Structure 1
């Protein structure tokens, strides 16, 4: 898969729901290296940026910048593909928690690759090295990552998985109509970007998994269980910890929560 050049994929959006309303213009997704003068990320620069969060044995298959539009008003979202040598039927798009952007998923994605599953790690708008128009939401990064998964990585099954902030952004994206086979919310705050997740739960129609730990407090834990009930999702008590801590241990090995998330993503 080339890391250079420009790939334009036209996605035809569904017609507007209301009769007589003209269809939306097709969205143009551009995979571009960078704006002039801004060097594109490379495997070396990503490894340097992520440091210990990305294991030395992480099988990085591609590093690129995903974009929507051009120029200063466009969107530029760094993406890293970690996976086995052969394409996998399931591709996970991973939305990070607050902190160091996509790097936080390095350990989980590396272990998933050992199980034959490919992951697309993306910076969310406003975090990491992503640059997006003011007001952009996590849904933009999610949509670009999923487009890469389906159009280039050959995914037959897609899973949108988010931790903490990324968990809430996952729910908001699916409620907003982002197309995905399954979704996973790990420790997502019950309210994000001014939206109470329970208020949009009725719009979530895809199968989901909510992972929460009591260590985040009884109020948030109860909200997580309520979100699972209202969306018809499976609920998993993650034990103790928050976000990535519910998926891998300090050495990066999968623990029970990580095993369940990976199995769920694959349809198990």
Structure 2
């Protein structure tokens, strides 16, 4: 009887039904995600006891002062933004022609095969793929064999950028492919009938309509690169990105307040980035 009464109440009040369905996921989001961000924000203002090394609750801007006054950290931050932008541009350049072929040229059967081929690398372990690039870029690796460098390794910032571009490429291809599928073929045919060249059609018809999908893909590639600290340790050589600053202060220096302050940098960058692209419609393509 109670079950029937509850069913009638939920049927008559759709908002209550929706709230009951979303209550547990929202609770988990608030506690696990937003709660952890709030804890990190508060910890960023703490200090470290010089004698015991334990975090001391309080309010201090010393951690942020150290971040913004030290030119080393500013250089690492600029380098991280440059690598994230470079990875995004490389992935966009590769994804555009590949996704166009998948969406507009390949047969339906070939499309399914190509989509599976794009998704297949995501099934492999992150570390396996990163160490595979380490082998290829290392001494006596494939690159050294092709160039004839004499057992010379090619680790560094370029190797990090190339490896990250490979790792995050599917996250750019899939949104661009989905965006191209939504563009009617009649628009492309009309542009061709009016005498536009292939480049003019791409620049004036396809690219403006596809721009939100490209931006949606860039959100993934940019944010994932900005938060990555493993690849640079594997193929980066002596290079360092901002995520490594956070990792080293947590694991090596055991300075959690400073690591929390540093951790707010990628969060702030992504909040600004999302606010900037919100009007482009990119968030509708995620």
Q: Check whether TM > 0.5.
A: no
- Structure with greater helix percent: 2
With the shorter chain as reference, the TM-score category is under 0.3
Which one has more relative contact order, counting CA pairs under 8 Å at least 6 apart?
2
